[in-house]
A and B are shown apart, each in its own frame.
Chain A
Amino acid sequence: MAGAETLIEADNLVRRFPRCEALGGVSFQIRRGEIVALLGPNGSGKTTTLRILATALAPTDGRARIAGYDVTFQSLAVRRRIAYLPENVPLYPEMRVEEYLAFRGRLRGLRGARLAERLRDAVERGGLGDVLRRAIGTLSRGYRQRVGLADCLLHEPDVLLLDEPLAGLDPAQVDAVRALLQGLGPDRCVLFSTHVLAEAERLCHRALILNAGRLAAADAPARLAQAGETTFAEAYRRLTTPLPLVRNPGQRRGA
């Protein structure tokens, strides 16, 4: 993948909220064909990074590009090339699964035979054949996750941005999601956040470890472990030791 095209490019991303700084200058690149895990403790900036890349949030400073398009100034072109699945898998509970997927396909410009073909493929990959006519509101967490993932695969995007895609799944479902992501092939890239280190180690080519809004490490899990002559989990813990950083200058000490 060394010579592959760069699909995600973050250049010194900064994001400040009224009461805190979520990202303090994060830079990385992800190439086509890569599966990259975004790791870090709660509040380290994982979701903020994904939301910026998904055009849901504008960076305060720095810039990000998806397939060469700026996420701030060319957001529509970016949105044609991405799929974004937030952590809580927001779906419309009153819609049936097949209706929801068809609706999402139409939003992305799919019509007629092409839509039917893409629906078949996404339903098959998501393992949703049994629940196609069920209302989404009646589905279990695992099935809802699958519906969200099937939605992400509908338009064959270049970039998949997945926030905690393994959260709340049972072991069999985790296996299924892992197989699904690994089966995406070399044509796209996946950036996913997770707290499950073992899964990240098994699934990703590289791990980006965020700590307090800054990139603490970016390398293959095996190399990160090797560098400290430890396991990947220990390397992660070493890298994410809370920094003595005042992230909220307006907040009183000890508050």
Chain B
Amino acid sequence: MNAFFPLWRRELATYFRTSIGYVAGTCFLAIAGFGLWRQAAHLARSAAEGDLVQNLFGTPVYWLALLVATPLLTMRLFAEEQRAGTLETLLAAPVTETQVVLAKFAAAYAAFLLLWLPTLAYAAILRQCGANLPPVDWGPVAAAYLGTALIGAFFVALGLLGSLLTRHQAVAAMAGFAAAGLALAGGRLPFYAHTAPFREFAAAVSATRHMADFAAGIVDTRAVVWYVGGTALALFAAVRILEARRLR
């Protein structure tokens, strides 16, 4: 794995050297901040304590933040290298396709996790604003962040795959958005097909249902396997597509 760390470092540094990291960060924090503002308004209006974790994770605003931020982080990964031709010189160096895919994924995923760092302060901000919040129950908080990390890894892997299929960043972003959107829409299948197998399938793959469980402090192994497996499959497909480029 000699080449992994130089590749990972360069890739992660690019988020800070180019505008894309700041654009993704701004979009994410604006949307997540809107979610926080809604929660603060809700607390002020009803004076109900509510469940802070469930009101911040798994809401439409939460999904919007996830769906917007991940394609922005992943669209450049391969599309830009293909457009500029740097992928050819990169792969003329003694690096394997697996190292390249893993390093790019690890960098985009690290950037994704960095985006979530400021949200750790949300409870403290609400308290500062005078909200009467119960003591933090760390179990659901940890589970919600674990769920976000798992779903985020899957979405980042899908975005990376989208970026590999085109040399246009905008198309890569749309592909990543569509793939993550489809993965999210899987849980909506029973609304369109009312048969038992569809219902069972939808229940098993529903990101919204998984997130509701995580936010309630329930870590379902099936959900963990689904996202880890989905991420691994997307990365495996990316490696094979990258290897096959020599045959085109």
Closest to B91 in A: A56
Interface assignment of A109: CB less than 8 Å from any CB of chain B:
yes
A90 touches B89 (CB 8 A): yes
Determine how close the nearest CB of chain A comes to the CB of B102; give it in whole angstroms: 14
Chain A residues positioned under 8 Å from B90 (CB to CB):
107
Bound state CA distance, A211 and B18, in angstroms? 43
- A38 interface residue (CB < 8 Å to B): no
Once the chains bind, are B94 and A79 in contact (CB under 8 Å)?
A: yes
Given A90-B84, A94-B17, A103-B6, A56 contacting B92 (CB threshold 8 A): yes
Query: CB distance A107 to B96 under 8 Å?
Result: no
Q: How far is the CB of A18 from chain B (nearest CB, A)?
A: 9
- Main SS class of interface, B: helix
Q: How many residues of A contact B (CB 8 A)?
A: 27
User: Is B93 a contact partner of A92 (Cβ separation < 8 A)?
Assistant: no
Cβ–Cβ contact A55 & B92, under 8 A:
yes
Within 8 A of B (CB), among A82-117: 82-86, 88, 90-92, 94-95, 103-104, 106-109
- Least distance between B194 CB and chain A CB atoms (Å): 45
A66 shortest CB reach to chain B, Å: 11
Q: How far in angstroms is the closest Cβ of chain A from B9? A: 8
Do B92 and A84 touch across chains, with their CB atoms under 8 A apart? yes
Q: Let me know if B88 and A56 touch, CB within 8 A.
A: yes
Q: Known: A86-B85, A92-B86. Contact between A103 and B92, CB under 8 A? A: no
Is B3 located at the chain interface by the 8 A CB criterion?
A: yes
A103 to B94, CA, bound (A): 13
Tell me which of A55, A90, A104, A151 contacts B85 (CB under 8 A).
Answer: A90
- Does the CB pair B89–A108 fall under 8 Å? no
- CA distance in complex: A92, B246 (Å): 22
A196 touches B (CB below 8 Å): no
Shortest Cβ distance from A76 into B: residue:
B94
CB distance A109 to B88 under 8 Å?
no
Q: Please state if B247 and A107 are interface contacts (CB–CB under 8 Å).
A: no
Q: A76 to chain B: which residues have CB within 8 Å?
A: 94, 96
Give a binary string over B225-247; 1 marks a CB under 8 Å from any A CB, 0 the rest. 00000000000000000000011
Q: Is the CB of B92 within 8 A of A79?
A: yes
Residues of chain A with a CB closer than 8 A to B124's CB: none
Cβ of B54 < 8 Å from any Cβ of A?
Answer: no
A22 on interface, CB distance cutoff 8 Å: no
| Complex contacts, B10 vs chain A, CB 8 Å | 92, 95, 103
A57 within 8 A of B: yes
Cα separation A218 to B147 with both chains bound (whole Å): 63
Q: Is the CB of B85 within 8 A of A107?
A: no
Contact B247 A94 (CB under 8 A): no
Give bound CA distance, A79 to B89, whole Å: 10
Check A58 for interface membership: any CB of B closer than 8 A: yes
Bound-state Cα–Cα, A88 to B84, Å: 9
- Shortest distance from the beta carbon of B22 to any chain A beta carbon, whole Å: 13
- From the candidates B3, B6, B14, B92, name the one contacting A54 in the complex (CB within 8 A): B92
Contact status of A90 and B92, CB under 8 A, knowing A57-B246, A58-B247, A109-B2 = no
A230 CB, nearest partner CB in chain B, Å: 37
Say yes or no: B246 contacts A55, CB within 8 Å: yes
B85 cross-chain contacts in A, Cβ below 8 A: 86, 88, 90
> Is A133 in the interface zone, CB < 8 Å from B?
no
- The B29-85 residues at the A interface (CB cut-off 8 A) are 84-85
| Contact indicator A107/B95 (Cβ below 8 Å) | yes
A82 is contacted by which of B17, B84, B86, B92 (Cβ under 8 Å)?
B92
Query: What is the CA–CA distance of A92 and B14 in the complex, to the nearest angstrom?
Result: 10
Closest 4 CB pairs of A and B: A90-B85, A106-B6, A84-B92, A90-B86
Query: Other than the known A58-B246, A88-B85, what 8 A-B pairs have Cβ atoms closer than 8 Å?
Result: A54-B88, A90-B86, A91-B86, A92-B10, A92-B14, A103-B10, A104-B93, A109-B3
Q: Which of A's residues lie within 8 Å of B, judged by CB?
A: 51, 54-58, 76, 79-80, 82-86, 88, 90-92, 94-95, 103-104, 106-109, 151
- 19 chain-A/chain-B pairs, Cβ below 8 angstroms: A51-B88, A56-B91, A76-B94, A76-B96, A79-B93, A79-B95, A83-B92, A84-B92, A85-B89, A86-B88, A90-B88, A92-B10, A92-B84, A92-B86, A95-B10, A106-B6, A107-B90, A109-B3, A109-B94
